[in-house]
Structure 1
């Protein structure tokens, strides 16, 4: 048996039959939906002893994610060298300024006038890894461009490694250190390179004629259809900065109203909207007028009004109900207020259009109802970023300042919040992570008004001019301060919640969060303040200071716009970097630990949380939502309801919500079975058959197989027998305490087989579906939802790589006739397939499983142990070792704390030479240990999630 590195090289460069290795095998790196080149560079950085890079071109927009990793490495005393140059004057002087801030990075300037190298070398304990190819250290190259980079690992004395190291050593010797003197000269002589075919993507696009973008075109199409169908009201949800006002103008232009009314709560917004509408619609300037406290231009064709003026009783009395044939309510989430309600009560236009960035209200007002639940279109933050409608952001979650191991929390007094050392720490982080542009133009959110005012004074005293704004300041004062920021007279506006909505500052290049995240809505509102595009702004730096707050768990959920309430997904988002197009989400290791600790204290699937999620979706669609609605609208995962131990099925939840759902005991038991056993969609077979039987009385086996083929599902006699075992409940006929699972599910089969070629619904189920409309609706909903969830699985295989399964899932998907998950524990040796469940990190040394020190020996094989007592001549061990073509299915979870679900890592082979009898634990019980070699090397992301510290 070769060592892992040798096998990995042979696998990648000689013959695939040698075992591969995710971390060591030669690999072509690319940017795609599942991966990008930066993830590999990041993983190498986090595991190396030192690194040397030779990279010609660097852009500032990729330095923020790098700084997060290098800050973590600095704590481990890991450092590196970066050799770059001035070729083609591509590197902006700002890049060199930012690189000089990284204390554990030595930067050198190559002497070569044509320096165009792109290589990344990482030194590990027993090997070195080289990434070389077309990718410079730019955001586009590492995250989105079509690039190729080859990753190769080798020993230090390998010929290729020696050759590369010699080149780097020569380059290092002849390169000069980056100094302030060199940078001053470079900056004085630097001329920004002219855009060309390569560099165009890095320069701001020219202002063009205003036309609808793709998402706006889709929204306009939906609006046109809504109006054509006779609807009188419609709502559009459009994220801040996505051209919401222009979209409204396009809609009005298409409608050709005789007279139009625009309503909003601030005069400044009304004035800006008037200008935007004029740009889109054109015509006579005198057709556009204002209705505000200062101007009453009601005779104009297009009237832009503040609700405060319009809703005055004397004003409304002078207007007819049909004065306007099209009314647009901007910031429509405010429309439940009495002033807006007077406007609604007065007018009867041909169409009402509501527009908002945040329809979810914290005051329980039903915005959707006001617009007849006609949600015409949604442009949310993620979609807007993916469609490049907003400026990208680089979010950095860093730990807040600590004193004697204590961090800031909700109860921290003002004196400590404003302590000189904390303020210095904050300023140091702001400087380190930087901003796009020549000067900071930042918005700081803090928790208290007094804190805002004093912090602004301290910042100013430390040569970072800042002004505090609170709700006590007039609108005129706010506009004056915003203008000062835009003109560069100050660097920061310090506020509490004043800028959550309404006023945007496109010039912002930093968002700083010095407060607890209390709601996802407010978090996204505050993040959105800085995402409007602006000339010269390539990105926004968002710096979040994470203390010991109980709501820390909301941060990754909000950033990823993840409403699923899926705890495993939230953990993954808290631990791993995230991407939305070229925007990045980064947490320092300490900040990540704080978020994970917060997650451990919260119950995302509590009845209180589920109730709120239900009410939110009910408000949105205007009726009690079904499970399929939660799936379609990207809300709470249907599996969160299914896995809730307090609920047998969704019908029971509806009853708790006060809905009139009537089910008898038998119907409830059947629905519980479909919910608990089939809804997860991990195999489509049972669901496909049930759906067919809901559509027709009799289904032949050939019809069933044809339907399975449409789902690209595997078909064989074993799985067809298993489907019958599941739907007749014989699979569940296993004693569990005083009853069997089959008895809990009603003890009646769901299907019948009158012959070998036919399937029928069982009479009891058929009668129940006929007798109860509630039961039929919920049964069908569960089947459809399960098939929808099945889209995440590869139906050609029993198990989908990197999906999660528990022991009972394994019993079913291995087509076993009975559920033997209860006595399975860590594994079960069957005739030709053995599922092995491994908990990698033991939560307690006292637990039996903690004695089995499962380790990822070399990044590709797991050290695994049988039960005790077991010996090499035990029947179970002999069957495991000697059965020809025995399939070993490997399932791993990080720790017992995360529940019953394990990630499927694929099949593995036993490395025979590693098998030996061992004595484990204080009682020295005999067990057999062996290395399990994974057939498919782990992806870097899964390695970090499961095995990295």
Structure 2
């Protein structure tokens, strides 16, 4: 079959976003690594970036009706300097002015290897892409793990045996999207004419899902996006094999009376969001899980904020692996989780909290029990962890931009690696331009930067490489955000023995969560547990870089209802001060 990565439709028949993503998919299929979209306001002249054979390539795309002139070449060369890239490439759908060829020769004489790609070059590059999906060409890199293979087999059984829907529940880092993409690949073999609709509740997730499916798609499969930024017409939708869409965009079309193409498979990411009017409208239009399209739901968190069950759409999950089971069974990287108690004010505890914090709410306890942790001490412990790890790479989650800048400055001053701040705004409140942010992420991906000090930008929606050191210096009471941040270090990788987590968060609920995780990892798990599996994950309480068993004992006695404390709001009185004199003695040590 002929390739459908580069077509007239996705080059010129839709929007500029589709054009950029076409080049992104093309160069990834041609073997480039670390391929990212950089195009945005303030991108500094870069649209797509990637690496090939140790060299950094920067692509600037123009879908103008007229040929590109010298000014674009100058912008692209300047962008290369800003991004510290090696090879500038200008991609133009309608060719180049004659003077640009002269300019190319002049730049070559200066050692700048400018490349000029027109429509013909894109077609020739695409024709070199094998029909076989990239994942099948590199099975070692994309090999399914046993639990993923079982999940795909179970999904295929459901499909073949006439089920209307299926649910997969896999914790962050366990590859639920990879499972869904492989199921889709096998389902296409059985039903080659069936189109697929992949739904998400946010625009950014739609793009992530498309990128995640590409390695499992043959070159003859055309993909497209339908969301708040891209609105393909009916002819464009009819031409696509897989449509990745924001549910609100599709629901708006349905409610306006616009018909949808026929889809044989509907995949819903983060399916715990089902039940909204938007999802009801779309699934109802397609009769998904109701005699029409087969409905596949995937989520890492099957619980819903409103407490309702997913049984309206699904039976029991075909696979269900939470984070604790993933850790205990070796599906995630071993976690060496160190919760530091250095900043507990033991004098305040010994004096008796009933007098100093009579309300005993989480907020009151936090204000009374904890003192500020010295950033220098945090960096010293980070340096120790850096020396422990092979090929170390880390993220420090900070609470404010000022704090992130202080941390990066201390790390750079100590000199064991280089650190940079990544945030949406500067300390002065100015938005960080896309070029700066993209360059920082690229340097981190290439290993030029060892540690990122992040403020609210690496929770989700941003592709960063796997890390083996995670430092918490910001408080979050959101279980979702905490799991997303921790998940940055949980994925397995060749040569990765463990992820070291340094938790300096001054919040009593975090200690409750740590104790709960420690107990879960220590549980034997009954007869079903394979005795050959060695539990390498652990949670330790540390003080002055040594085990703090007395502090752990004290916290256990105090936090007798871990679940209530972990889920408590600021005004819920769930804490008590232990009257046992032996516990008070621990506080007085």
For the aligned pair, the TM-score class normalised by the smaller chain equals: 0.5 to 0.7
Question: Hey, what's the Cα distance between the residues in 2 that align with 1:531 and 1:273?
Answer: 20
1:346 aligns with 2:305: no
Q: How far did residue 503 of structure 1 move?
A: 4.1
1:390 aligns with 2:366: no
Q: Which residue of 2 aligns with 1:583?
A: 537
- The alignment partner of 1:553 has SS state of helix
Q: How far did residue 219 of structure 1 move?
A: 1.6
Map of 1:431-450 to 2, 5 A cutoff? Answer: 431-434=383-386, 440-447=392-399
Number of aligned positions between the proteins: 394
What are the Cα deviations for residues 813-858 of structure 1, in whole angstroms up to 9, with x where unaligned?
xxxxxxxxxxxxxxxxxxxxxxxxxxxxx9669xxxxxxxxxxxxx
**Which of residues 377, 380, 384 in structure 2 aligns to 1:428?**
380
Q: How far did residue 423 of structure 1 move?
A: 0.8
Q: How far did residue 262 of structure 1 move?
A: 1.1
What are the Cα deviations for residues 907-946 of structure 1, in whole angstroms up to 9, with x where unaligned?
xxxxxxxxxxxxxxxxxxxxxxxxxxxxxxxxxxxxxxxx
Q: Which residue of 2 aligns with 1:509?
A: 468
1:330 aligns with 2:243: no
- The alignment partner of 1:530 has SS state of coil
Q: Which residue of 1 aligns with 2:301?
A: 358
- Gapped regions of structure 1 (runs ≥ 5): 1-205, 570-578, 613-841, 846-894, 898-948
- The alignment partner of 2:384 has SS state of helix
Q: How far did residue 555 of structure 1 move?
A: 0.5
Map of 1:74-473 to 2, 5 A cutoff? Answer: 208=140, 210-227=142-159, 230-256=162-188, 257=191, 258-265=194-201, 269-282=205-218, 284-285=220-221, 287-292=222-227, 293-294=229-230, 296=232, 297-298=236-237, 299-307=239-247, 309-313=249-253, 317-320=257-260, 323-336=262-275, 339-349=278-288, 350-361=293-304, 363-364=305-306, 366=308, 368-369=310-311, 371-401=313-343, 410-411=366-367, 417=372, 422-434=374-386, 440-447=392-399, 451-452=403-404, 455-456=407-408, 459=411, 464-469=418-423
Question: Hey, what's the Cα distance between the residues in 1 that align with 2:409 and 2:309?
Answer: 40
Question: Hey, what's the Cα distance between the residues in 1 that align with 2:405 and 2:174?
Answer: 32
Q: How far did residue 527 of structure 1 move?
A: 1.7
Map of 1:544-623 to 2, 5 A cutoff? Answer: 544-545=503-504, 547=506, 549-559=508-518, 561=520, 581-588=535-542, 591-604=548-561
Q: 1:470 to 1:593 in 2, by over 3 A?
A: farther
Q: How far did residue 530 of structure 1 move?
A: 1.2
Q: 1:481 to 1:561 in 2, by over 3 A?
A: farther
- Gapped regions of structure 2 (runs ≥ 5): 1-137, 350-362, 526-532, 569-578
Alignment RMSD: 4.6
Q: How far did residue 544 of structure 1 move?
A: 1.5
What are the Cα deviations for residues 86-123 of structure 1, in whole angstroms up to 9, with x where unaligned?
xxxxxxxxxxxxxxxxxxxxxxxxxxxxxxxxxxxxxx
- The alignment partner of 2:539 has SS state of strand
Question: Hey, what's the Cα distance between the residues in 1 that align with 2:522 and 2:272?
Answer: 20
What are the Cα deviations for residues 711-761 of structure 1, in whole angstroms up to 9, with x where unaligned?
xxxxxxxxxxxxxxxxxxxxxxxxxxxxxxxxxxxxxxxxxxxxxxxxxxx
Question: Hey, what's the Cα distance between the residues in 2 that align with 1:605 and 1:493?
Answer: 32
Q: Which residue of 1 aligns with 2:489?
A: 530
- The alignment partner of 1:329 has SS state of strand
Question: Hey, what's the Cα distance between the residues in 2 that align with 1:360 and 1:497?
Answer: 24
Q: Which residue of 2 aligns with 1:573?
A: none
Q: 1:436 to 1:460 in 2, by over 3 A?
A: same
- The alignment partner of 2:540 has SS state of strand
Q: 1:486 to 1:592 in 2, by over 3 A?
A: farther
Question: Hey, what's the Cα distance between the residues in 2 that align with 1:428 and 1:503?
Answer: 28
- The alignment partner of 1:552 has SS state of helix
Question: Hey, what's the Cα distance between the residues in 1 that align with 2:282 and 2:331?
Answer: 33
Question: Hey, what's the Cα distance between the residues in 2 that align with 1:345 and 1:489?
Answer: 50
Q: Which residue of 1 aligns with 2:500?
A: 541
Q: Which has the higher contact order (CA 8 A, sep 6+)?
A: 2
Q: 1:461 to 1:316 in 2, by over 3 A?
A: farther
What are the Cα deviations for residues 272-309 of structure 1, in whole angstroms up to 9, with x where unaligned?
54344343342514x33333424735221111223454
Q: 1:230 to 1:213 in 2, by over 3 A?
A: same
8 A contact 1:391–1:540 mirrored in 2 = yes
Question: Hey, what's the Cα distance between the residues in 1 that align with 2:438 and 2:312?
Answer: 32
What are the Cα deviations for residues 536-572 of structure 1, in whole angstroms up to 9, with x where unaligned?
53332111226472541211313554799x9xx9xxx
Question: Hey, what's the Cα distance between the residues in 1 that align with 2:547 and 2:143?
Answer: 46
**With structure 1 as the length reference, what TM-score do the two structures score?**
0.36
Q: How far did residue 505 of structure 1 move?
A: 3.0
